[in-house]
Amino acid sequence: MPQFETTRVIKHSPEKMFALVADIERYPEFLPMCEALSIRTRRERGDLTLLVADMTVGYKAIRETFTSQVVLKPAQNQIVVKYVDGPFKYLSNIWRFEPAGEGVTTVHFFIDYEFKSRVLGALMGAMFDRAFRMFTDAFEKRADAIYGQSA
């Protein structure tokens, strides 16, 4: 039952950071281990956007694809990811973006997961753990590349 949680102050607005993390189709361009991502469905419900997406992750010769439901909550600056199908027993991921001054955001990232297979968990668990620890770095670097580095 690995889980990882971090809080980070980033020099971009909550709205920009929300938009960056919500743009899941771009993840293969910069996110560690993410090889492909496709959106199956996209529905708008009031101020929420519900996505169902397939993500393929890989390390060396191992490739796994899993499906998750992504709920974009722009009014709350929150993104909630729930596992639907694939190699996990469960996966839950939450992003929150809180204002921390002019053009500055406190980013909260939480992920909790467990592989169905102990063998797959043994093979990929350490790499997933390392990748999740690099996620906030990857998103911060991506924000700087897209929005420019703030002083």
| Backbone angles phi and psi of 102, in degrees to 5 | -65, 115
Predicted pLDDT of residue 100 = 95
What percent of the chain clears pLDDT 90, i.e. is strictly above it?
69
- Mention every residue, 6+ apart, whose C-beta is less than 8 A from residue 68: 52, 53, 55, 81, 82, 83, 84, 91, 93
- Mean pLDDT value of segment 31-54: 95
Please tell me the distance from the alpha carbon of residue 106 to that of residue 102, in angstroms, as a whole number.
12
Residue type, 66: F
Q: Kindly give the pairing relationship between strand 105-115 and strand 88-99.
A: antiparallel
Mean pLDDT of the chain: 90
C-alpha closest to that of 106 among 37, 12, 9: 9
CA–CA dist 121, 144 (Å, integer): 33
Measured CA to CA, the distance from residue 48 to residue 30 in angstroms comes to 25
CATH superfamily of 3-147: START domain (3.30.530.20)
Give the percent of the chain with pLDDT over 70.
Answer: 96
Q: Whole-angstrom Cα distance, residue 133 to residue 151?
A: 25
Mean pLDDT, residues 105-125: 85
For 64-87, the pLDDT digits (tens) are 899 999 999 999 999 999 999 998
Q: Which residues contact 118 (CB under 8 A, 6 or more apart)?
A: none
The pTM for the full model equals: 0.89
Helix or strand or coil: residue 146? helix
Domain residue ranges of the chain, discontinuous segments joined by +: 3-147
If 0-12 CB within 10 Å is exposed, 13-18 middle and 19+ buried, where does residue 57 land? buried
